[in-house]
Amino acid sequence: MRGALGWWAERRSYPGWSIIRAEPRGRWWALRNPVVDERGQVVPYAVTALDRDTYGELAEALREQAGP
């Protein structure tokens, strides 16, 4: 992470996701509403929550969710 608040600026790179850091352990979480397809149906296999030990690990997981 670039600086103590670098993640705050980078969060815009992951639209639709809310990023939080849970205390006291400092674990990072990303949450989003259920994904809806073009017919308005909830996509049952879509990931709506991720958690990792560091922001860098979380950012990598979020990039993987965005696809190629």
Q: DSSP letter string over 9-36?
A: HHGGGSTT-EEEEETTTTEEEEE-PPPB
Residue 64: Cβ within 10 Å count? 11
What was the pLDDT predicted at 2?
A: 46
**Structural domain contains residue 43:** yes
Q: Which residues of the chain have pLDDT under 70?
A: 1-9, 11, 67-68
Non-local (6+) Cβ contacts of 33 within 8 A are 16, 48
**Structural domain contains residue 26:** yes
Question: Looking at the 3D structure of the chain, how many domains does it have?
Answer: 1
Q: Range of 28's domain? A: 6-66
Helix (H, G, I), strand (E, B) or coil at 65: helix
Q: Report d(CA 49, CA 17) in Å as an integer.
A: 9
**Structural domain contains residue 1:** no
**Structural domain contains residue 18:** yes
